[in-house]
Amino acid sequence: MASVHLARMDGPGGFQKWVAIKRIHPHLVEDDQFVDMFLDEARIAAGINHANVAQVFDLGKDDNTYWIAMEYLHGEPLREVMRRAEERRLRISPELAARICSDAAEGLHAAHELRGKNGQLLGLVHRDVTPHNLFLTYDGYTKVVDFGIAKVADRLSSTRAGTLKGKLAYMSPEQVRGNDVDRTTDVFALGVVLWELTTNQRLFRMDTDLDTLEKVQACVVPPPSTIVPDYPIELESVVMKALAKHRQDRFQTARELSRALQSFLMRSGVFVGSEEVAQFVQQVFADRIQKREAHLAWAAEVTSTINVEQVRGRNSTTATDSVGLRSRGREPEPQQRLTPPQVLRRNAAPASGIAPVGRTPARDAADRQMSASSLMDDDEDV
C-alpha cells in the first residue's frame, strides 16, 4: 500500500541526517479513504514527541502522490528479532522482555496522552500494538511505529461500527466484538506481546481467523509459569493483569504497566538498560548490521543533485537512482538527472529491515537538501 525509501537530509555546515520517505503507491492516490488514513498517520505521529515513538517530521505531495518524511531507524522490527532469536536458539530473558515492553508502554502512554488544540485529550488508541509495530534499534531503544489505524477523536478517516482494525491475534476481547476501545485495549495488546516474548509461544494465534477470534473472545490465558517452569512470579502477575478479560481489571494506563515492569526489574537484581538490549540485538543481527552499514556508506557517496522545487516549492534534493547492494550485488547504474517521482520509484530494490519512524527538527529554508536513495520499496500495510 505504501513504499518506504531511504533518504539523506543535507543542510548548511555539513549537516546530514538519514531519514525515510514513505509514499503512497500511485494506484491508491484516488482512494480517498486510504489517503485520509495516510494523512491521519502523519498528523497523529507528528503530534507525539517521545523517545519511544517513531515521529513524522514532514508531509508533502508531488504531482502524483503524498509522502511522509520520517526518522530513519537503524534496527529491526520486534517480530524479526523474535524470529531470528528462535532460529539461533537464543533466549530472550524475562528481564530483557520486561525492558522492551516497559519502553514500549512509555511510548504508548505518550500517545494516549495526546491532546488537541483545545487542551482536551484526543482519546488516541493505537489499535495495532504487535511485534510488527514495535521496533528495536541497534543501539537498544524501543520505538512504537505505525499509527495508520489509530483511533482518535478528530481523524479524517472513520471506521464503521463493528469493523475490525488491527491484527486479530493481538486484539482484546472488546475489540474483536466491535465494541468501543480505549487505552486499556493497547495495554492488553502489549500484554500479548509480553506473554509471547517470555514464553516463545503464540497466545491466541490459530490456523484460521475464525478460530483466532473465538480464542480471543474466550480469553483463557495460561499462566506463563505453566509453560516456563522458572518463570518469575512477579512478572507473571504483571502479565496476567495486563491480559485480564475485563478492561476494568487491567492496568488502567500504559504507564501503570511500565512502572510495574520497572518494579519487577528493580526487584530482580538484574539491570537491563538500552546497552543490554543493544548487545542482544547486535548479537542476533551481527551479519546484517555490517551489510546495512556498508550499504549506508555506499549510499552516502553515490549521489547526484537534482532540483525538486516542484515538490515543495522551496527545497533542493540530492538524490541517487540506486540499486540495493544486497539484492543486486553490483555497483549502481550511472547517475542521471531525475524528477522527484523517479528518484523514489526507479530501480528500487528491497532492503528489509529499513523502517520508517520519527521526528527531526524541521528545517526552514530554501537551502534545505535531501538526498534520496531508492534502496527500499517494501509494501506496508498502513
User: What is the predicted pLDDT for the residue at 91?
Assistant: 92
Q: pLDDT band for 107, please (50, 70, 90 cuts).
A: very high
Q: What percent of the chain has pLDDT over 90?
A: 52
Instruction: Please give the pLDDT value at position 314.
Output: 42
Q: In the prediction, which pLDDT does 255 show?
A: 99
Q: Is 87 helix (H, G, I), strand (E, B) or coil?
A: helix
| Residue 52 · residue 142 · CB < 8 Å | yes
As a whole number, mean pLDDT of residues 12-22 equals 86
Mean pLDDT of 34-57: 89
Which DSSP symbol is given to 299? H
* SS3 call for 238: helix
Q: Is the pLDDT of residue 368 over 50?
A: no
pLDDT tens-digit map of 287-318: 999 898 888 888 777 654 333 344 444 443 33
Domains belonging to the chain, first-starting first, are 2-74+287-373 (3.30.200.20), 76-284 (1.10.510.10)
Cell numbers 524470529 correspond to 83
pLDDT recorded at residue 164: 61
Cα 375 to its chain centre, rounded Å, is 19
The answer on pLDDT for 361 being more than 60 is no
pLDDT per position as a tens digit, 136-169? 999 999 999 998 888 886 555 555 545 566 689 9
pLDDT for position 31: 86
Question: Which of 10, 128, 186, 377 is flagged as catalytic?
Answer: 128
pLDDT tens-place string over residues 315-356: 433 333 332 222 233 333 333 332 332 333 323 333 333 333
What separation in angstroms does the CA of 93 have from each of 134, 228, 268? 18, 11, 12
In this structure, the number of other CB atoms found within 10 A of the CB of residue 39 comes to 18
- Given a cut of 50, is residue 357 above it in pLDDT? no
* Angle, alpha carbons 270-275-276 (nearest 5°): 40
Closest CA to 354 of 51, 21, 50, 34: 21
Look at residue 294 in the predicted model and tell me its pLDDT.
Answer: 87
128 is catalytic: yes
Q: What percent of the chain has pLDDT over 70?
A: 75
Measured CA distances, 121 to 48, 94, 147 (Å) = 13, 34, 17
pLDDT digits (tens, 9 = 90+) for 190-237: 999 999 999 999 999 999 999 999 999 999 999 999 999 999 999 999
pLDDT at residue 225, rounded to an integer: 97
Q: What are phi and psi of 143, to 5 degrees?
A: -125, 135
* Residue 6 predicted with pLDDT over 50: yes
CB-based contact 194:101 (threshold 8 Å): yes
